[in-house]
Amino acid sequence: MSSGEEDLKTRVIPVTGTSEDESGGAEICEALESLPVKPQERYRFIRSIGFGGMKSVLLVRDADTGREVAMAIMPDFRERPRRDLERFVREARLTAKLEHPNIVPVHDLGIDRSGSPYFTMKYLHGQSLASVLRRLRKGDPEATERFNLVRLLQIFIRICNAIEFAHSRGVGHFDLKPENVNIGEFGEVVVLDWGLARRFEQEDSDGRNKGTPGYMAPELITADGFPADARSDIYSLGGILYAMLALTNPLSRLPVEEVLRRTVTGELIPPSDASPEGRYVPGALEAICMKAMALEPGQRYGSVSELREDIFAFQTGYAPKAENASPLKHAGLFIGRNMFIVLILLTLILTGALLYLYFRYWQLAQMLESTGV
């Protein structure tokens, strides 16, 4: 969506003042020693699905269950540093513990006979949210009919549900973006790629900050920023909402260095100014988006539930807290929510006024008749 049609990639951003562990992956770490060895005949390769970061994903058939599953592997594990092997296993174990309808389920974890770690997960059909938004920006008729703003907000709520659940387990995703959300053929919404996920109390001090420019919170970019916590994911959720409203990534079509600079200085263009000509962006949703993506973590929503409640408020005809609506706006929304009752009251008032006028006319006619006028 930005600077071309390709999906956004997670990037590594060097941070000064920290050191890296460059020990080779051939030295088996403790995380791998406890993993079971995969029976060679259990999984049959079908085709490659894709690759990104440090892993490749294959489509395989599980002989035990007879179903097709996605298998994540690390092809160059022997050249990988120890921390990458540990992160790969950590992703599988963290995701496996997050049992939620909107989080991709992990089925199996182990190592193959060559010593390479792998894990299997549900094979997801459908398309990424990034693909949906690209089609909407191009004016694709089928996408435009199927994914209107109401539907996009329903998808956003489900993403929030997944992240709120992860936060309740003390886990942050730290790489939320439309590319990491899968939209199923029957309305399923699944958050995937938990490769950068970690517990909030766990530091990731390997000398590199990782994430996707435009969706990374400012504190994930600077070495001396605020520590990453739930509000870092809230910033990224705001970025996803931004993309839904503007049909483009935050700070799109800019060099990576400029995106990072504007992120840490808070120079964010409102989605209404970045959206295609003719696309309406409700002011209330823009206010929610900008609050979620505030520069200072303390100015963002304190939790995902607060963000979701503001979306619910908009959906049900109330003013979100982020909007700081005027009394006149509240009054207008009240009328909008209770339009049927208002119409009945207006009808009764009008009927009463007409009856009153008729009664007065009748009285006047009787008086004139009695006086012989």
Supply 128's token pair. 């990424």
Enter the tokens of residue 337. Answer: 């929510």
For 211, list phi and psi in degrees, rounded to 5. Answer: 160, -170
Instruction: Please report which helix (H) or strand (E) contains residue 47, including its range.
Output: strand 43-52
Dihedral, CA of residue 226, residue 227, residue 228 and residue 231, to nearest 10? -50
How many CB atoms within 10 Å of residue 99? 11
DSSP percent split of the chain into helix, strand, coil, nearest 5: 45, 15, 40
Question: Which of the following is catalytic: 7, 84, 112, 175?
Answer: 175
Residue 334 three-state SS: helix
Look-up: residue for tokens 């489900």?
158
Cα separation, 82 vs 129, whole angstroms: 33
Q: Do residues 4 and 20 lie in contact, with contact meaning Cβ atoms separated by under 8 Å?
A: no
CA distances from 87 to 77, 79, 80, 92, 198 (A): 12, 15, 11, 9, 9
SS3 323: helix
Give yes or no: 175 in active site.
yes
Spatial neighbors of 85 by CB under 8 A, at least 6 apart, are 25, 29, 31, 32, 74, 77, 117
CA distance 69 to 6: 25
The residue type at 234: I
Count other Cβ atoms within 10 Å, centred on residue 244.
Answer: 24
The pairing of beta strand 181-183 with beta strand 189-191: antiparallel
Q: Where are the beta strands (DSSP E) in 284-372?
A: none
Q: Look at residue 13 and give its three-state secondary structure.
A: strand
Q: How far apart are CA 363 and CA 360, in angstroms?
A: 5
Question: Active-site residue numbers?
Answer: 175
